[in-house]
A and B are shown apart, each in its own frame.
Chain A
Amino acid sequence: DAGVIQSPRHEVTEMGQEVTLRCKPISGHNSLFWYRQTMMRGLELLIYFNNNVPIDDSGMPEDRFSAKMPNASFSTLKIQPSEPRDSAVYFCASSRIHTGELFFGEGSRLTVL
């Protein structure tokens, strides 16, 4: 079975540009999570969805960040405009609802110059 698929794997962009990260969760999973990982702050939850509905977005840093899940097999995380402090690895993870066994993608490494 395919795992969680994220794209792009690497993104280098300039400050002020729009960045869109994409995620395809594992089929049959009904919870989806977006995490951000940096050396300074570790793994931080940005937002998560249950059955395509956003449940908790309190980790989204500011209005520049937005996430959508239009259907059970696709989600996006958008940053507009991007800033150098957004540089990090962004992970998408999925699971069956109410379990803590998350399956992570390989991450999208974002560098904002």
Chain B
Amino acid sequence: DAMVIQNPRYQVTQFGKPVTLSCSQTLNHNVMYWYQQKSSQAPKLLFHYYDKDFNNEADTPDNFQSRRPNTSFCFLDIRSPGLGDAAMYLCATSPWGGTHSNQPQHFGDGTRLSIL
């Protein structure tokens, strides 16, 4: 089945130690998203790619970076994680549907990040 896969499902890192989360997709969608979701809250968009075109949300901290080396893979790098960065990180994909799209987003199961 075509899907969005996030690895690892659970990640523990130390305060200030860089960490990378990965996402891969077999849907061949050209749009990929990274969300941060804290407990009992809605997902918050960090950034998204349309193909290789990177789009950063205005309030995404500089501590968060992303790479998309090809259509299938996208990475989230947290350069110096703080305690406030502990959260679920969700990757999603969608096909490009134009300037106002009716295309749903397809989500992976997320990576839960803990900071020691």
Chains A and B form a bound pair = no
